[in-house]
């Protein structure tokens, strides 16, 4: 069996079945785009689930990448994925916006499936290879993998927030999860505050020492090794958005979208997976009240809300959809005219071209997440605004807020503040839009997704080299910045 020097382990493989069910096509996700250049260069392997339960597949090559499918049964999907990942960890790590469910059977499935992923990664990696584990579905893989293959360099990136200690400590398996993550040489987070929350949980739960971003972890042989927990904010492939935004057919499509809405003076846009973390309800409430107060009219402005279908078998998502659709129906019923609508609600997924046309049509982009690891939509919007126009309204609870201070930052829980900011965005003079948008675009272009993966992987190889030397801890610590500890 062929082995690779670079292996990515993620819940999903970077491919989906073609509609005829026969072949494969690259899935559109950001992670796939992010890692594509590295995978190609390294002739890497990717370990993940192919997306269909109870289907056993042999490893295969696709577009220069060796794909290693991990089989999940229908029960695994229910317990490990929909259960523990999406109904325990997801709500807990997003500040308990929805109540997490703690079920022992789900945890057992999570352990079992994480072991299966670790075994597949161990088999796919060559001697001294680098393995990069992705995200919250696989938090136990770093430790399990290190036990199987101590020769490997192991990185882990956490795409979602890591919660404050007071919340994290609810988790019945809080020690095991921390130990699982600490199997990695480098544990990457979106925000400095996430890395700080993680370090604090490690100190409180495991009593390990932390110094700057370094954590001293027992190596199982009476000594310690140092693991690095640090922020590496993810980004997007900005150039690909710029190229799409420059295409005349996509610019034309943006005009058609505006016409299709009855040429309102302004278009507001929200683009989210239909998820309770994204603050869609808060956004609708603010918009509904602005119409009610008469501070906006449907001739003046329309809100386009793309809510792409997500996790439709998890109860909280079914309820959320009902609530949102009832609210949209009410607002439209109260304020629509025969020619204009308050909210154009789209529970659909669109090709990337259509997304960029929507970004170009939108005068105001609303990102009102209650908690979000990063929020790539905010970055995609500004990358697409090659005309330096448009206003980004951005929640301070999205990781993107750390880098995008030139947006109009809001607290989505403060509905009055959100309403005032929406009005301000709708009325913002072109010169101010230009000033802010240029600053935002510079940041996204200067730090794109390739920078993200390169910075993480450079840190991983540099750190691993030093951590395995005798003087590791002191040397490494001396060279690291102290993360802010934002936990409570
Ligand atoms: C997780 C973290 C973190 C959405 N609808 C359509 C569509 N999308 C695309 C967006 C964007 C992506 O999906 C969503 O990324 P986000 O970052 O906004 O949010 P999550 O899905 O929650 O992602 C998040 C991210 O991981 C990366 O680390 O930023 O905080 O929660 O790219 O454009 N794309 C297309 N059609 C749609 O209908 N083509």
- Which residues make Cβ contacts (< 8 Å) with residue 178, sequence separation at least 6? 198, 201, 202, 205, 206
Total number of domains constituting the chain? 2
pLDDT of residue 17: 87
Residue 403 lies in a domain: yes
Please report the beta strands in 319-372, taking only residues with DSSP state E, as ranges in sequence order: 343-346, 364-367
Q: Are residues 163 and 14 in the same domain?
A: yes
Q: Are residues 329 and 283 in the same domain?
A: yes
pLDDT of residue 478: 53
Dig out the tokens for 98 from the structure.
């929805």
Q: Are residues 297 and 190 in the same domain?
A: no
DSSP notation for 92-133? HHTTTSSPPP--HHHHHHHHHHHHHHHHHHHHHEEEEEEEEE
Residue 474 lies in a domain: no
Cβ of 444 less than 6 Å from ligand 1: no
377 CA closest ligand 1 atom index = 18
Give me the residues paired with residue 67 across strands: 46, 60
Cβ–Cβ < 8 Å for 392, 382: yes
Give me the residues paired with residue 8 across strands: 46, 132
For a mutational test of ligand 1's pocket, the pick from 238, 278, 375, 444, i.e. the residue with the most ligand atoms closer than 8 A to its C-beta, is 375
Residue 294 lies in a domain: yes
Dig out the tokens for 42 from the structure.
């390294």
Q: Are residues 319 and 377 in the same domain?
A: yes
pLDDT of residue 88: 98
Residue 295 lies in a domain: yes
408: domain CATH number? 3.40.50.2000
Q: Are residues 208 and 350 in the same domain?
A: no
pLDDT of residue 358: 98
Q: Whose CA is nearest to atom 34 of ligand 1?
A: 352
Q: Are residues 147 and 49 in the same domain?
A: yes
What is the pTM assigned to this prediction? 0.94
For a mutational test of ligand 1's pocket, the pick from 377, 395, 453, i.e. the residue with the most ligand atoms closer than 8 A to its C-beta, is 377
pLDDT of residue 2: 82
Ligand 1 centroid distance, CA of 486 (Å): 25
Range of the domain at 15: 4-234+451-467
Give me the residues paired with residue 153 across strands: 130
Dig out the tokens for 434 from the structure.
């230009």
Residue 475 lies in a domain: no
Residue 485 lies in a domain: no
Q: Are residues 329 and 367 in the same domain?
A: yes
Cβ–Cβ < 8 Å for 164, 196: no
Q: Are residues 18 and 74 in the same domain?
A: yes
Dig out the tokens for 363 from the structure.
């005068």
Q: Are residues 202 and 318 in the same domain?
A: no
User: Taken in order 162, 165, 166, 168, is the CA torsion positive or negative?
Assistant: positive
Per-residue confidence in pLDDT tens, the chain, 488 aa: 589 999 999 999 999 888 888 899 888 776 787 787 788 778 899 999 999 999 999 999 998 889 999 999 999 999 999 999 999 999 999 999 999 999 999 999 999 999 999 999 999 999 999 999 999 999 999 999 999 999 999 999 999 999 999 999 999 999 999 999 999 999 999 999 999 999 999 999 999 999 999 999 998 889 999 999 999 999 999 999 999 999 999 999 999 999 999 999 999 999 999 999 999 999 999 999 999 999 999 999 999 999 999 888 888 999 999 999 999 999 999 999 999 999 999 999 999 999 999 999 999 999 999 999 999 999 999 999 999 999 999 999 999 999 999 999 999 999 999 999 999 999 999 999 999 999 999 999 999 999 999 999 999 998 777 655 545 555 555 555 444 444 33
Helix, strand, coil % in the chain, rounded to nearest 5: 45, 20, 35
Rg (CA), the chain: 23
Give me the residues paired with residue 271 across strands: 306
- Please name which of 106, 98, 85 lies closest in space to residue 319, comparing C-alpha atoms: 98
Q: Are residues 150 and 257 in the same domain?
A: no
Ligand 1 centroid distance, CA of 254 (Å): 21
Residue 484 lies in a domain: no
Q: Are residues 266 and 133 in the same domain?
A: no
Cβ of 131 less than 6 Å from ligand 1: no
pLDDT of residue 452: 94
Residue 125 lies in a domain: yes
Q: Whose CA is nearest to atom 33 of ligand 1?
A: 377
Ligand 1 centroid distance, CA of 474 (Å): 39
Q: Are residues 352 and 214 in the same domain?
A: no
Q: How far is CA 223 from the centre of its chain?
A: 35
């Amino acid at each position: 069996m062929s082995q690779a020097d670079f292996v990515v382990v993620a819940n999903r493989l970077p491919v989906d079945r073609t509609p005829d069910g026969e072949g494969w096509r690259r899935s559109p996700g950001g992670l796939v785009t992010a890692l594509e250049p590295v995978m190609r260069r390294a002739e890497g392997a990717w370990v993940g689930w192919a997306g269909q339960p109870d289907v056993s597949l042999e490893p295969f090559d696709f577009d220069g990448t060796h794909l290693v499918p991990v089989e999940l049964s229908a029960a695994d999907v229910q317990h490990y994925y929909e259960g523990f990942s999406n109904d325990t960890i997801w709500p807990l790590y997003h500040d308990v916006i929805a109540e997490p469910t703690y079920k022992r059977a789900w945890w057992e499935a999570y352990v079992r499936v994480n072991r299966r992923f670790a075994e597949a990664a161990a088999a796919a990696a060559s001697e001294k290879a680098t393995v990069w584990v992705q995200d919250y579905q696989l938090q136990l893989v770093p430790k399990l993998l290190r036990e199987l293959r101590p020769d490997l360099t192991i990185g882990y990136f956490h795409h979602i927030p890591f919660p404050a200690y007071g919340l994290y400590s609810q988790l019945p398996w809080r020690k095991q999860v921390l130990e699982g993550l600490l199997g990695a040489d480098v544990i990457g987070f979106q925000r400095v505050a996430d890395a700080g929350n993680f370090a604090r949980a490690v100190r409180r739960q495991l009593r390990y020492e932390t110094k700057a971003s370094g954590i001293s972890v027992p190596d199982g042989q009476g000594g310690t090794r140092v693991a690095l927990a640090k922020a590496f904010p993810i980004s997007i492939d900005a150039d690909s958005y710029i190229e799409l935004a420059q295409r005349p057919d996509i610019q034309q499509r943006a005009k058609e979208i505006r016409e299709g809405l009855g040429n309102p003076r302004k278009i507001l846009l929200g683009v989210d997976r239909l998820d309770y973390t994204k603050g869609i309800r808060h956004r609708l409430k603010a918009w509904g009240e602005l119409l009610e107060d008469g501070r906006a009219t449907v001739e003046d402005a329309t809100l386009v809300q793309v809510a792409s279908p997500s996790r439709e078998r998890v109860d909280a998502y079914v309820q959320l959809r009902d609530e949102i659709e009832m609210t949209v129906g009410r607002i439209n019923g109260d304020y629509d005219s025969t020619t204009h609508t308050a909210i154009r609600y789209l529970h659909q997924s669109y090709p990337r071209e259509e997304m960029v046309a929507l970004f170009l049509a939108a005068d105001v982009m609303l990102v009102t997440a209650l908690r979000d690891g990063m929020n790539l939509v905010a970055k995609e919007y500004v990358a697409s605004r090659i005309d330096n126009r448009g206003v980004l309204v951005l929640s301070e609870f999205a990781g993107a807020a750390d880098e995008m201070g030139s947006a109009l930052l809001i607290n989505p829980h403060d509905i009055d503040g959100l309403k005032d900011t929406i009005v301000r965005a709708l009325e913002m003079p072109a010169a101010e839009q230009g000033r802010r948008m240029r600053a935002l675009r510079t940041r996204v272009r200067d730090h794109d997704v390739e920078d993200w993966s390169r910075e993480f992987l450079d840190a991983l190889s540099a750190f691993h080299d030093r951590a395995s030397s005798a003087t590791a801890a002191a040397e490494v610590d001396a060279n690291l910045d102290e993360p802010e500890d934002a936990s409570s």
